Chains A and B, each alone.
Chain A
Protein backbone atom coordinates (compact mmCIF):
# COMPACT_ATOMS: atom_id res chain seq x y z
CA UNK A 1 0.00 0.00 0.00
CA UNK A 2 2.52 2.49 1.20
CA UNK A 3 5.05 3.57 -1.29
CA UNK A 4 8.63 4.24 -0.38
CA UNK A 5 8.25 8.01 -0.24
CA UNK A 6 5.43 7.78 2.27
CA UNK A 7 7.44 5.57 4.54
CA UNK A 8 10.44 7.87 4.29
CA UNK A 9 8.26 10.85 5.17
CA UNK A 10 6.88 9.11 8.25
CA UNK A 11 10.35 8.16 9.41
CA UNK A 12 11.66 11.66 8.99
CA UNK A 13 8.75 13.23 10.82
CA UNK A 14 9.10 10.67 13.62
CA UNK A 15 12.74 11.56 13.86
CA UNK A 16 12.06 15.31 13.87
CA UNK A 17 9.35 15.15 16.48
CA UNK A 18 11.45 12.92 18.70
CA UNK A 19 14.20 15.57 18.60
CA UNK A 20 11.62 18.17 19.64
CA UNK A 21 10.38 15.93 22.43
CA UNK A 22 13.92 15.16 23.55
CA UNK A 23 14.79 18.86 23.72
CA UNK A 24 11.52 19.65 25.46
CA UNK A 25 12.00 17.04 28.17
CA UNK A 26 15.75 16.87 28.64
CA UNK A 27 17.15 20.22 27.49
CA UNK A 28 14.43 22.41 28.92
CA UNK A 29 16.84 24.33 31.13
CA UNK A 30 19.03 25.28 28.22
CA UNK A 31 16.09 26.71 26.28
CA UNK A 32 14.94 28.55 29.36
CA UNK A 33 18.40 30.03 29.81
CA UNK A 34 18.50 31.08 26.19
CA UNK A 35 15.19 32.91 26.52
CA UNK A 36 16.30 34.49 29.76
CA UNK A 37 19.49 35.73 28.15
CA UNK A 38 17.47 37.25 25.31
CA UNK A 39 15.05 38.91 27.73
CA UNK A 40 17.91 40.12 29.90
CA UNK A 41 19.62 41.51 26.86
CA UNK A 42 16.58 43.51 25.79
CA UNK A 43 16.10 44.78 29.33
CA UNK A 44 19.74 45.79 29.51
CA UNK A 45 19.41 47.70 26.24
CA UNK A 46 16.36 49.55 27.56
CA UNK A 47 18.12 50.37 30.81
CA UNK A 48 21.19 51.73 29.08
CA UNK A 49 18.99 53.78 26.76
CA UNK A 50 17.24 55.28 29.77
CA UNK A 51 20.62 55.98 31.40
CA UNK A 52 21.74 57.95 28.38
CA UNK A 53 18.46 59.87 28.52
CA UNK A 54 19.14 60.71 32.16
CA UNK A 55 22.48 62.18 31.15
CA UNK A 56 20.79 64.24 28.46
CA UNK A 57 18.21 65.49 30.96
CA UNK A 58 21.12 67.00 32.86
CA UNK A 59 22.32 68.88 29.80
CA UNK A 60 19.22 71.07 29.60
CA UNK A 61 17.66 73.48 32.05
CA UNK A 62 13.97 73.87 32.78
CA UNK A 63 14.50 77.62 33.11
CA UNK A 64 15.22 77.89 29.43
CA UNK A 65 12.22 77.60 27.11
CA UNK A 66 13.97 75.47 24.54
CA UNK A 67 15.54 73.35 27.25
CA UNK A 68 12.21 72.76 28.94
CA UNK A 69 10.75 71.57 25.67
CA UNK A 70 13.59 69.09 25.24
CA UNK A 71 13.32 67.93 28.84
CA UNK A 72 9.60 67.29 28.46
CA UNK A 73 10.26 65.32 25.29
CA UNK A 74 12.79 63.17 27.13
CA UNK A 75 10.45 62.68 30.08
CA UNK A 76 7.70 61.56 27.72
CA UNK A 77 10.08 59.11 26.07
CA UNK A 78 11.18 57.73 29.43
CA UNK A 79 7.59 57.36 30.58
CA UNK A 80 6.80 55.48 27.39
CA UNK A 81 9.77 53.17 27.78
CA UNK A 82 9.00 52.41 31.41
CA UNK A 83 5.30 51.82 31.00
CA UNK A 84 5.75 49.95 27.72
CA UNK A 85 7.86 47.28 29.37
CA UNK A 86 5.74 45.03 31.56
CA UNK A 87 8.57 44.22 33.93
CA UNK A 88 9.71 47.84 34.31
CA UNK A 89 6.16 49.12 34.67
CA UNK A 90 5.70 46.75 37.59
CA UNK A 91 9.03 47.57 39.20
CA UNK A 92 8.55 51.32 39.21
CA UNK A 93 4.81 51.84 39.01
CA UNK A 94 4.86 54.64 41.57
CA UNK A 95 7.59 56.50 39.71
CA UNK A 96 5.76 56.13 36.39
CA UNK A 97 2.60 57.52 37.99
CA UNK A 98 4.44 60.61 39.23
CA UNK A 99 6.21 61.03 35.90
CA UNK A 100 2.87 60.87 34.17
CA UNK A 101 1.53 63.61 36.47
CA UNK A 102 4.44 65.86 35.50
CA UNK A 103 4.00 65.14 31.81
CA UNK A 104 0.32 65.95 32.02
CA UNK A 105 0.95 69.15 33.92
CA UNK A 106 4.27 70.49 32.62
CA UNK A 107 3.77 73.96 34.16
CA UNK A 108 4.68 72.57 37.57
CA UNK A 109 8.07 71.32 36.38
CA UNK A 110 11.08 73.15 37.79
CA UNK A 111 14.78 72.39 38.25
CA UNK A 112 14.57 70.80 41.72
CA UNK A 113 11.71 68.56 40.59
CA UNK A 114 13.61 67.57 37.46
CA UNK A 115 16.71 66.73 39.48
CA UNK A 116 14.63 64.83 42.01
CA UNK A 117 13.12 62.66 39.30
CA UNK A 118 16.51 62.26 37.60
CA UNK A 119 18.25 61.03 40.72
CA UNK A 120 15.39 58.71 41.64
CA UNK A 121 15.41 57.22 38.17
CA UNK A 122 19.16 56.75 38.32
CA UNK A 123 18.71 54.87 41.60
CA UNK A 124 15.94 52.67 40.18
CA UNK A 125 18.07 51.74 37.17
CA UNK A 126 21.07 51.00 39.34
CA UNK A 127 19.04 48.67 41.56
CA UNK A 128 17.53 46.92 38.55
CA UNK A 129 20.98 46.42 37.06
CA UNK A 130 22.21 44.79 40.26
CA UNK A 131 19.10 42.62 40.54
CA UNK A 132 19.54 41.58 36.94
CA UNK A 133 23.14 40.57 37.44
CA UNK A 134 22.49 38.65 40.63
CA UNK A 135 19.61 36.77 38.99
CA UNK A 136 21.84 35.63 36.23
CA UNK A 137 24.56 34.64 38.64
CA UNK A 138 22.17 32.45 40.64
Chain B
Protein backbone atom coordinates (compact mmCIF):
# COMPACT_ATOMS: atom_id res chain seq x y z
CA UNK B 1 0.00 0.00 0.00
CA UNK B 2 2.66 2.52 0.85
CA UNK B 3 4.12 2.28 -2.63
CA UNK B 4 1.69 5.14 -3.17
CA UNK B 5 3.85 7.42 -1.02
CA UNK B 6 6.92 6.70 -3.15
CA UNK B 7 4.81 7.14 -6.29
CA UNK B 8 3.45 10.53 -5.25
CA UNK B 9 6.90 11.71 -4.27
CA UNK B 10 8.06 10.70 -7.73
CA UNK B 11 5.24 12.87 -9.10
CA UNK B 12 6.42 15.76 -6.91
CA UNK B 13 9.94 15.32 -8.26
CA UNK B 14 8.53 15.43 -11.82
CA UNK B 15 5.88 18.06 -11.27
CA UNK B 16 6.01 19.18 -14.91
CA UNK B 17 4.32 15.88 -15.79
CA UNK B 18 1.25 16.91 -13.76
CA UNK B 19 -1.29 18.51 -16.10
CA UNK B 20 -5.00 19.31 -16.47
CA UNK B 21 -5.25 20.50 -12.87
CA UNK B 22 -8.82 21.42 -11.96
CA UNK B 23 -10.94 21.83 -8.87
CA UNK B 24 -14.10 19.77 -8.45
CA UNK B 25 -17.22 21.79 -9.29
CA UNK B 26 -18.88 20.66 -6.09
CA UNK B 27 -16.06 20.45 -3.56
CA UNK B 28 -13.34 23.08 -3.59
CA UNK B 29 -11.17 20.86 -1.40
CA UNK B 30 -10.88 18.24 -4.12
CA UNK B 31 -8.44 18.77 -6.97
CA UNK B 32 -8.28 16.59 -10.07
CA UNK B 33 -5.18 16.18 -12.20
CA UNK B 34 -3.56 14.03 -14.84
CA UNK B 35 -0.14 12.47 -14.62
CA UNK B 36 1.79 11.52 -17.77
CA UNK B 37 -1.22 12.95 -19.66
CA UNK B 38 -3.18 9.72 -19.26
CA UNK B 39 -3.49 8.74 -15.61
CA UNK B 40 -6.50 10.20 -13.82
CA UNK B 41 -6.03 11.18 -10.19
CA UNK B 42 -7.53 13.42 -7.56
CA UNK B 43 -6.66 14.49 -4.05
CA UNK B 44 -9.11 15.64 -1.43
CA UNK B 45 -8.63 17.41 1.88
CA UNK B 46 -11.18 16.27 4.42
CA UNK B 47 -12.70 18.58 7.06
CA UNK B 48 -10.56 16.89 9.73
CA UNK B 49 -7.40 17.74 7.73
CA UNK B 50 -6.67 14.29 6.38
CA UNK B 51 -5.86 13.76 2.74
CA UNK B 52 -7.31 11.18 0.39
CA UNK B 53 -5.83 10.38 -3.00
CA UNK B 54 -7.99 8.65 -5.60
CA UNK B 55 -6.95 6.91 -8.78
CA UNK B 56 -9.57 6.41 -11.49
CA UNK B 57 -8.73 3.55 -13.85
CA UNK B 58 -11.64 3.98 -16.26
CA UNK B 59 -12.93 7.55 -16.18
CA UNK B 60 -11.59 10.84 -17.40
CA UNK B 61 -11.15 13.60 -14.85
CA UNK B 62 -12.65 16.21 -17.17
CA UNK B 63 -15.99 14.48 -16.61
CA UNK B 64 -15.35 13.42 -13.02
CA UNK B 65 -14.76 16.94 -11.79
CA UNK B 66 -18.27 17.94 -12.87
CA UNK B 67 -19.84 15.20 -10.75
CA UNK B 68 -21.38 15.75 -7.35
CA UNK B 69 -20.08 13.29 -4.73
CA UNK B 70 -23.01 13.96 -2.41
CA UNK B 71 -25.48 12.70 -5.00
CA UNK B 72 -25.41 9.40 -6.89
CA UNK B 73 -23.14 10.77 -9.63
CA UNK B 74 -20.17 8.62 -8.64
CA UNK B 75 -22.16 5.40 -8.74
CA UNK B 76 -20.36 2.97 -11.02
CA UNK B 77 -17.15 5.02 -11.09
CA UNK B 78 -14.29 2.76 -10.17
CA UNK B 79 -11.59 4.22 -7.95
CA UNK B 80 -8.69 3.24 -5.75
CA UNK B 81 -8.52 5.14 -2.49
CA UNK B 82 -5.50 6.00 -0.37
CA UNK B 83 -6.05 7.95 2.83
CA UNK B 84 -3.43 9.40 5.17
CA UNK B 85 -5.37 8.27 8.24
CA UNK B 86 -5.13 4.70 6.93
CA UNK B 87 -1.47 4.73 5.92
CA UNK B 88 -0.67 6.49 9.19
CA UNK B 89 2.95 7.43 8.55
CA UNK B 90 4.33 10.92 8.90
CA UNK B 91 5.94 10.86 5.48
CA UNK B 92 2.59 9.90 3.91
CA UNK B 93 0.88 12.90 5.49
CA UNK B 94 3.67 15.29 4.46
CA UNK B 95 3.69 13.88 0.94
CA UNK B 96 -0.05 14.21 0.40
CA UNK B 97 -0.05 17.67 1.95
CA UNK B 98 2.72 18.86 -0.36
CA UNK B 99 0.90 17.46 -3.39
CA UNK B 100 -2.28 19.25 -2.34
CA UNK B 101 -0.49 22.58 -1.86
CA UNK B 102 1.36 22.17 -5.14
CA UNK B 103 -1.89 21.52 -7.01
CA UNK B 104 -3.50 24.54 -5.35
CA UNK B 105 -0.55 26.66 -6.47
CA UNK B 106 -0.99 25.36 -9.99
CA UNK B 107 -4.75 26.04 -9.93
CA UNK B 108 -4.42 29.61 -8.80
CA UNK B 109 -1.27 30.31 -10.87
CA UNK B 110 0.75 31.19 -7.80
CA UNK B 111 3.90 31.35 -9.94
CA UNK B 112 2.53 34.41 -11.69
CA UNK B 113 1.37 35.90 -8.41
CA UNK B 114 4.84 35.52 -6.93
CA UNK B 115 6.43 36.97 -10.07
CA UNK B 116 4.15 39.96 -9.79
CA UNK B 117 5.19 40.48 -6.19
CA UNK B 118 8.89 40.40 -7.10
CA UNK B 119 8.38 42.70 -10.09
CA UNK B 120 6.66 45.32 -7.96
CA UNK B 121 9.26 45.26 -5.26
CA UNK B 122 10.34 48.88 -4.70
CA UNK B 123 12.81 48.10 -1.97
CA UNK B 124 15.51 47.72 -4.61
CA UNK B 125 16.94 44.42 -3.49
CA UNK B 126 14.75 42.09 -5.49
CA UNK B 127 17.67 41.24 -7.73
CA UNK B 128 19.86 38.71 -5.95
CA UNK B 129 22.91 39.81 -7.93
CA UNK B 130 22.44 43.41 -6.90
CA UNK B 131 22.11 42.31 -3.30
CA UNK B 132 25.36 40.40 -3.49
CA UNK B 133 27.38 43.26 -4.98
CA UNK B 134 26.03 45.75 -2.44
CA UNK B 135 27.04 43.51 0.42
CA UNK B 136 30.52 43.04 -1.01
CA UNK B 137 30.94 46.83 -1.22
CA UNK B 138 30.83 47.08 2.53
Contact = CB atoms under 8 A, between A and B. Distances in A.
Nearest to A113: B13
Contact of A111 (B3, B10, B89, B94): B94
B2 A122 contact: yes
Interface string B1-30: 011011001101100000000000000000
Contact of B92 (A112, A113, A119): A119
Nearest to A110: B13
Interface residues of B, number: 15
Nearest to B3: A123
Nearest to A59: B90
Interface of B: 2-3, 5-6, 9-10, 12-13, 89-92, 94-95, 98
Q: Which 7 pairs, one residue from A and one from B, show the smallest C-beta to C-beta distance? A: A119-B5, A116-B9, A112-B12, A112-B9, A115-B91, A58-B90, A116-B6
16 contacts: A58-B91, A110-B13, A112-B10, A112-B13, A115-B9, A116-B6, A116-B9, A119-B3, A119-B5, A119-B89, A119-B92, A119-B95, A120-B6, A122-B89, A122-B91, A123-B2
Given A116-B10, A122-B2, 17 more contacts: A58-B90, A110-B13, A111-B94, A111-B98, A112-B9, A112-B10, A112-B13, A112-B98, A115-B5, A115-B91, A115-B95, A116-B13, A119-B3, A119-B89, A119-B91, A122-B89, A123-B6
